[in-house]
């Protein structure tokens, strides 16, 4: 597979329209949204159902052309609303990604909230809290913020609203009569660990599993991907049950339903990496009262855009500090989406050799044709040290990559042949200060052309644009203060351990893909 890489997946298009047809559709709806917020506030505000999977990445849904994983609910939302082709998270790590969604801001602006197992400043504004102040009934189920520790007012009033341990039905039963609602439907799927073989046992044809081309073509890996698919399907069924409840109470048409993931799949070179396989996510939105079905948005969106979208739709003022952009004009009036997007990463898991407790900080800019990445600490291991006995956190082993069969296979077979060695280098090897990928020739982002003379001009342009936007956003990395600002903060979580590590935080053997779910 590595010798002859091909584009990641054959794509299908649901209800594809030309740009002109989309514009015409937008003009039909523009009148309603040309009204000022004050005039619209007299209308019944929409409900909001936000459904987010844990570690579900692009392009693993039927609507994107994956023929093995079955996602009828996601596909339905895309067909009855909008499918976003280029949706990106702020950071490919759970806590910062979710904090960025809650706040509508780039994660690097959130201080201790920019890293895994961080917290959330009590001074920051979050969309569920703002909606609650406007009269919304708010709540969440399962994973929303986190992992991390909430303090002060957030410990008393959760930033995603009250926790409903029995789910959406319990939340609806507790809803004040006539109140609009905003519910965060979280999940631990498809986060590791997986029960090995569930995908194959469910009937999936492993020969048809479409893998990223930097993975060796191994049945071990195909089966691991199928197990991941199995949990994606379970999440899809959770959302289906929620839609049934909406229809039962007669609120389906007046509810904005969004379905997405917090970052890429928990596999090597994916989660905790800023390549598309780590930073790009499925995203669909349905809102029958305002949004015509069958739309496909090709422009870029960030999940930081969701908070201002929900607030504008509800007629609530969007705070100036939110860096996200409302998608309401995009989905209701055909306005253009972003022409590029930023992503980045701070510390995921402390995975370097002692005494270094830092992360692998990166920032990137993604355009239609290029991905430019800046690695601020290229002297560090991008996915953690292989020398687990020297790790700053005892036993941590390539700890920015979750343990599982794919990780173990690639490491154990790295010297098998040239293809396996390249797979290992792409997933776990050291990286240069700059990376540049020409997506017109290399859509899977496997060949770094940053040092090629033919790309010097475009590299300079993208580097300059990234620098300017990071400066404008107040990113501490731009000012050279990043290590002290981000790496010096406490870390309260664990990390993937080597199979031979016998410490207290390795109750399960790493090579078998076991561990705590939801980190």
| Cα separations in angstroms, 263 against 36, 95, 230 | 35, 11, 17
CATH (domain of 323):
3.40.720.10
In a shared domain, residues 70 and 143 = yes
Give the pLDDT of residue 99. Answer: 98
Burial class (CB in 10 A: 0-12, 13-18, 19+), 302: buried
Give domain status of residue 430, yes or no.
yes
What band does 34 get if pLDDT is binned at 50, 70 and 90?
very low
Number of domains in the chain: 2
Average pLDDT for 58-78:
98
Mapped onto helix, strand or coil, the DSSP state of residue 183 is strand
> Last residue of a domain, which of 278, 310, 343?
343
pTM score, two decimals? 0.90
Residue 176, both tokens: 């004040």
**How would residue 453 be classed by pLDDT, with cut points 50, 70 and 90?**
very high
Q: What is the pLDDT of residue 519?
A: 56
Question: Of 306, 327, 343, which residue sits at a domain end?
Answer: 343
Residue located via tokens 């953690």 = 384
Same-domain check for residues 143 and 113: yes
Same domain, 411 and 382: yes
Q: Which two tokens stand for residue 215?
A: 């993975």
**453 and 382 inside one domain:** yes
- 371-377 mean pLDDT: 98
Residue 314 and residue 411 in one domain:
no
Verify that 198 and 73 share a domain, yes or no: yes
The range of the structural domain enclosing residue 69 comes to: 19-32+45-343
Query: Is the preceding omega at residue 144 within 30 degrees of 0, hence cis?
Result: no
- Residue 5 lies inside a defined structural domain of this protein: no
Do residues 298 and 357 both lie within one domain? no
pLDDT at 435 over 90: yes
Is the pLDDT at 41 greater than 70, yes or no?
no
Whether residue 248 sits in one domain with residue 102: yes
Are 459 and 337 in a shared domain? no
271 in the same domain as 242: yes
């Amino acid at each position: 597979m590595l010798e002859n890489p091909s584009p990641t997946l054959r794509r299908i298009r649901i209800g594809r329209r030309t740009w002109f047809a989309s514009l015409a559709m937008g003009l039909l709806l523009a009148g309603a949204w040309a009204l000022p917020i004050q005039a619209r506030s007299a209308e019944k505000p929409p409900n909001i159902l936000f459904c987010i999977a844990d570690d579900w990445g692009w392009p693993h849904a039927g609507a994107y052309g994956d023929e093995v994983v079955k996602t009828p609910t996601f596909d339905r939302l895309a067909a009855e609303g909008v499918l976003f082709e280029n949706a990106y998270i702020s950071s490919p790590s759970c806590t910062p990604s979710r904090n960025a969604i809650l706040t509508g801001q780039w994660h690097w602006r959130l201080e201790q909230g920019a890293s895994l197992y961080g917290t959330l400043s009590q001074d920051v504004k979050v969309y569920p809290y703002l909606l609650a102040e406007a009269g919304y009934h708010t709540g969440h189920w399962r994973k929303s913020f986190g992992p991390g520790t909430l303090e002060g007012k957030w410990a008393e009033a959760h930033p995603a609203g009250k926790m409903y341990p029995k789910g959406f039905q319990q939340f609806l039963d507790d809803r004040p009569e006539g109140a609009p609602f905003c519910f965060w439907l979280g999940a631990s799927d498809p986060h590791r660990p997986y029960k090995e073989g569930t995908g194959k046992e469910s009937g999936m044809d492993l020969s048809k599993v479409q893998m990223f081309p930097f993975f060796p073509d191994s049945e071990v890996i195909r089966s691991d991907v199928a197990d991941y698919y199995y949990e994606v399907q379970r999440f899809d069924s959770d959302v289906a049950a929620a839609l049934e409840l909406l229809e039962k109470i007669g609120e389906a048409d007046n509810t904005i339903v969004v379905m997405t993931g917090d970052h890429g799949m928990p596999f090597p070179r994916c989660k905790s990496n800023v390549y598309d396989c780590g930073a790009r996510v499925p995203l669909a939105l349905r809102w029958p009262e305002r949004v015509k079905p069958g739309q496909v948005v090709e422009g870029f969106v960030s999940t930081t855009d969701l908070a201002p979208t929900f607030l504008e739709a509800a007629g609530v003022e969007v705070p100036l500090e939110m860096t996200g952009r409302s998608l309401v004009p995009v989905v209701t009036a055909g306005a253009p989406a972003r022409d590029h997007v930023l992503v980045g990463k701070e510390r995921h898991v402390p995975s370097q050799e002692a005494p270094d407790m830092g992360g692998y900080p990166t920032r990137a800019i993604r355009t239609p044709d290029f991905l430019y990445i800046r690695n601020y600490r290229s002297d560090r291991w991008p996915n953690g040290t292989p020398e687990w006995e020297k790790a700053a956190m005892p036993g941590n082993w390539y700890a920015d990559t979750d343990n599982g069969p794919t990780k173990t296979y690639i490491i154990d077979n790295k010297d098998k042949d040239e293809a396996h060695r390249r797979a290992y280098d792409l997933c776990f090897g050291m990286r240069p200060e700059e990376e540049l990928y020409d997506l017109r020739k290399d859509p899977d982002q496997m060949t770094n052309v940053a040092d090629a003379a033919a790309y010097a001009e475009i590299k300079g342009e993208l580097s300059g644009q990234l620098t300017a936007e990071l400066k404008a956003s107040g990113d501490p990395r731009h000012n050279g203060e990043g290590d002290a600002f981000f790496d010096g903060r406490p870390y309260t979580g664990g990390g993937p351990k080597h199979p031979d590590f016998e410490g207290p935080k390795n109750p399960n053997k790493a090579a078998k893909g076991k561990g705590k779910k939801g980190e």
